[in-house]
Amino acid sequence: MKKSHLYLVGFVASLAMAGTATQAIADDEITRGQLMAASCKACHNAAGADQGVTDLTRLPAEVIASQMRAFRDGDRDATIMDRHAKGYTDEEIDAMAGYFSRF
């Protein structure tokens, strides 16, 4: 097979795989909020409650969003959350809060 045909076959195959991956994400409805919230779950889950860490699945979205903004803007004292929150925009905070409020 000529090299140009081999490249074309590879290109078509990669497009087919990309379409399949995109459809899988759409089928499972993975949202931006869910992707960003994955790191939050490392601490903010039911197991963390024993150590004084809030289980975010028990809070309304408005509370999560307001507290994240307070951490980010320096209006609430923190040991760790102020550093995490500084990296998020209002849109990202709302997306994560919306994700957690679904539970």
Please check whether residue 71 is in contact with residue 34, taking contact to mean a CB–CB distance below 8 angstroms. no
Q: What's the rounded Cα separation, in Å, for the pair 70 and 14?
A: 44
Average pLDDT across the chain, whole number: 79
Q: Is the pTM of this model over 0.85?
A: no
Q: What's the rounded Cα separation, in Å, for the pair 41 and 81?
A: 13
Q: Is residue 23 predicted with pLDDT exceeding 80?
A: no
Q: What's the rounded Cα separation, in Å, for the pair 27 and 17?
A: 15
Residue 6, SS3 per DSSP: helix
Q: What's the rounded Cα separation, in Å, for the pair 88 and 72?
A: 8
Nearest to 64 by CA among 48, 42, 81: 81
Query: What is the tens place of the pLDDT at every residue in 31-59?
Result: 889 998 988 888 887 676 678 888 898 89
Residue 22 is predicted with a pLDDT of 44
Q: What's the rounded Cα separation, in Å, for the pair 97 and 65?
A: 6
Q: Could you give all domains of the chain from N- to C-terminal order, each with its CATH number?
A: 1-30 (no CATH), 32-103 (1.10.760.10)
Residue 72, SS3 per DSSP: helix
Q: Is residue 19 predicted with pLDDT exceeding 70?
A: no
Query: What is the tens place of the pLDDT at every residue in 64-81?
Result: 999 999 999 999 999 999
Higher pLDDT residue, 21 or 30?
A: 30
Residue 85, SS3 per DSSP: helix
